[in-house]
Structure 1
Amino acid sequence: MRISSKLVGVGVLALMTGCSSLSPSSAINKLSGLNPFSSKSKADQPAALVELQATMAVRTAWKLDIGKAGAYQFSPALAGNTVVVAGAGGDIARVEATTGRLLWRTKAGSELTSGVGTDGNLIVVGGAKGSLIAFDMDGNKLWTSQLSSELLSAPAVGQGIVVARSLDNRIVGLDAKTGDKKWTVQRTSPALTLRTAPGMVVSGSDVIIAQPAGRLSSFLLATGAPRWDVEVGVGRGATELERVTDIGGYPVLFEGDVCAVTYQGRIGCFDAAAGSTKWTRDMSSEVGVAVDQRFVFAPDDKGALYAYNRDTGANAWKNDKLAFRRLSTPVSYGRAVAVGDYQGIVHFLSREDGAFLARAATDGSPIVGTPLVAGSHLIFQTQNGTVAAIAVE
């Protein structure tokens, strides 16, 4: 039962069977302190941080407390030159990306389980008991729509359509102006899946959605009609636990490619228009990827950070000095790739060879959402609700 104990031990992730799941509070209550790795094996303990002589200047430009994430994952979202953030307690805020100046802060009127989705014209979050709540860019509530079950993934917005996926793997498209349902797609799920927040991304007139069992699927935004479906990860093993191979984090679009990684499966890049495979490599990761002109970056489930050539999938480098530090989805910016850990520390590594460049602290709690590039700032959101903008100089 090694895989089972590991999934529960991660804290943000838990196992669900069919459409039922461990409650968020029960998953969190299994943890003690910030360190999610309580195994007695010394080999599984988080690597100690060695003293670092920084060769890159980084500083915290601003911070905002949006409220704890609880058992959920919240990621900041970019809307023009502003950042929109939300927390599990129901707070939503919009701030200037450069200065952190608060433009507005409001209450959703409900606890939140997912968010934020925005296209720069509409803000959408997932509320308690499967409610989907929409706001305009000034923070005024527009509509609420009730879905079939809890929302863990941030909604996607594009072409006048809001796409949301509930825990029972029912995908709905709603009218962005009214919240009326326009189409529904029901996909089956394997017996066991990760209780996580696989993402969705709008690609022109399509939406690309990370599916259970390690699949990426593309649908027409207007109608929900399927465009293509591709297998990223392949389940292996004798038991259902060993065959769990869900996609972690958001699929990432870059210059016609869409790249993703799965738990106990593979990492790969695919043609975003046709779904054809460009390359795949064996890998296991519980979080997402970062992509730039040359590389695809991802941490594995043991805390090693890898860089792959974006065109060929050839391994460019590996840094294993952050072993078992529960790394976040990375983000690429300039000459660095940055990744957060379970203590809220952001590590900056050279995108060319993986050498350490700098380090910055947030609030001591895990960084669990997907980081964001906003101008010259990298935006990280922690489990305890700190939104930190780190300037790279």
Structure 2
Amino acid sequence: MRITGKVVGVSLLALTAGCSSLSWLNPFKDKDKNPPAKLVEIKSPVPSKVLWKHSVGKAGLYQFTPAVADGSVFVAANDGTIERLEAATGRSQWRIKAPGELTAGVGTNGKVVAVGGLKGAVYVYDGSGKLLWETQASSEVLASPAISDELVIVRSLDNKITAYDIKTGERKWFLQRTTPALTLRSASGMVVANGNVYVPQPAGRLIALALANGVPRFEVSVADPKGATELERVSDIGGAPVVFDKDVCTATWQGKVGCFDSATGVGRWAKETSTDVGVAVDQRFVFVADDKGNVNSYSRDAGASAWKNDSLGNRVLSTPVSYGRVVAVGDYQGYVHLLSREDGSMLGRVETDGSAIKSAPQVAGNSMIFQTQAGTVAAITVD
């Protein structure tokens, strides 16, 4: 199978959990044809700074997304490190080591912390870092567990969604769906809201499951697979869906970005796009960084194009984050780019540690939290 240059980052086919997965290991295979855009000097950048930095450990071949809850930032690393940081200062409140290496995290509600380990291990701790229970998923876990008041929900690579009792680890319910011949090997997370857990599915589908029993509330197609080959038909959801007010919004690889009614699944709007990362949503806009390095903004109510910034071409961008007057996005060299929320113009740039930012940034109080592949956790603020 020939992988073309426009399929950014697809480098090999790996047989995992009974299906083939596309691994994102070499984003610059065709860098001579599609070189990353050079960064230009920004005149009169907006005042911004790094409030604090902290090193938690390398991500390796995985992605670890920081989680914010109860005034703290929870982070993890491939070597098994799990840490709770004070959001305002970055001061470590506790640091522990899981029994084995980790592949996914962090899921938390502030009281319970859950991570995924090698070969499908799942470790669950209380808010002080004490191990509550551990269990074994049916296959590898790449996405952060989702946590409600009563459940820890895990999605494994074989597309099995399992809910465990948050206190005891007893399995409460599960649902398993089949997968296409090829899927993205990505950390597409889940989100808990409105009594549901919203779960990305292969082939561009989104499903809402009732927390009480795992029964599907609705299932919608974000984008229908198209093309003559299995590779052309890959249209998996990238990143975690976002629930905002009455909308749930998400985007797919080789497909669309769109918003749906979070209670019924009725489509509000959808636009053509291709991305393997998630979307950012605020009161007015939906933001998505596409596979060519463009950052796009759409009106949340109707999907009208608000603006497009194409100055970061082929820089392998992270999920964006909306923060005050800026939209921020990380890249493969660890830069955080600050764009105007209103018109997309470039307003500033902040350096981290030179390694890629792949995980979704988070907002914690008056700062944005970014975690790099080398393990730097940085809190960035904009005046």
TM-score, structure 2 normalization = 0.96
> Is 2:362 the partner of 1:372?
yes
Shift of 1:54: 3.7
1:50 aligns with 2:49: no
Q: Mark the runs of 5 or more structure 1 residues left unpaired by the alignment.
A: none
1:201 to 188, 191, 200: 191
1:390 pairs with 2:380: yes
Give the Cα–Cα distance (whole angstroms) in 2 for the partners of residues 369 and 243 of structure 1.
25
Question: Equivalents in 2 of 1:8, 1:373: separation in Å?
Answer: 28
Instruction: Please tell me whether the aligned partners of residues 245 and 265 of structure 1 are also in contact (alpha carbons under 8 angstroms).
Output: yes
Shift of 1:8: 7.8
Partner of 2:234: 244
The one-letter code sitting in structure 2 at the alignment partner of 1:249 is G
The reply to whether residue 38 of structure 1 matches residue 37 of structure 2 is no
What per-residue deviation string (whole Å, max 9, x for no partner) do you get for residues 326-371 of structure 1?
A: 0000000111000000000000000110001110000101100010
Would you say the 8 A contact 1:296–1:307 is kept in 2? yes
Rounded Cα–Cα distance in structure 1 between residues aligned with 2:278 and 2:159 = 19
Q: Who is 2:294 aligned against?
A: 304
- Deviation sequence 1:106-133 (CA, Å, 0-9, x none): 0011100001011121100001110110
Change (3 A) 1:7 1:143: farther
Distance in 1 between residues matched to 2:239 and 2:365, nearest whole Å: 22
Aligned to 2:68: 78
> Shift of residue 39 of structure 1?
1.2
Over 3 Å counting, the alpha-carbon distance change for 1:289 and 1:3 in structure 2 is: farther
> 1:108 and 1:121 mapped to 2: Cα distance?
17
Whether 1:142 aligns to 2:132 is yes
What does residue 88 of structure 2 align with?
A: 98
Amino acid at match of 2:94: W
Offset at 1:38?
A: 3.0
- How much has 1:55 moved relative to structure 2? 3.2
1:107 aligns to 2:97 (yes or no): yes
TM-aligned CA distance change 1:387 to 1:241, over 3 Å: same
1:203/1:17 CA distance change after superposition, 3 Å: same
Match 1:170 to one of 146, 160, 170: 160
CA deviations over 1:178-205 (Å, ceiling 9, x no partner): 1111111011101100000111000121
Distance 1:14 1:116, change over 3 A: farther
Which residue of structure 2 aligns with residue 19 of structure 1? 18
Distance 1:93 1:152 in 2: 19
Corresponding pairs, count: 383
- Secondary structure of 1:249's counterpart equals coil
Residue type of the partner of 1:279? W
The secondary structure found in structure 1 opposite 2:119 is: helix
Tell me what 2:9 maps to. 9
Consecutive aligned runs of 4 or more in structure 1 exceeding 2 Å deviation: 1-11, 13-24
* Cα RMSD (Å): 1.8
Query: Does the Cα contact within 8 Å between 2:19 and 2:180 map onto a contact in 1?
Result: no
Using the TM superposition, give the Cα deviation of residue 10 of structure 1 relative to its aligned residue in structure 2, in angstroms.
5.4
Higher percent of residues as helix: 1
1:223 and 2:213 equivalent? yes
Provide the C-alpha distance between the structure 1 equivalents of 2:21 and 2:52, rounded to a whole number of angstroms.
Answer: 36
What secondary structure, in the 3-state scheme, does the structure 1 residue paired with 2:212 have? coil
Instruction: After TM superposition, give the deviation of residue 147 of structure 1 in Å.
Output: 1.0
Q: 2:200 aligns with which of 204, 210, 213?
A: 210
Partners of 1:92 and 1:184 lie apart in 2 by 27
Q: Percent identity?
A: 56
Quick one: which amino acid aligns to residue 171 of structure 1?
I
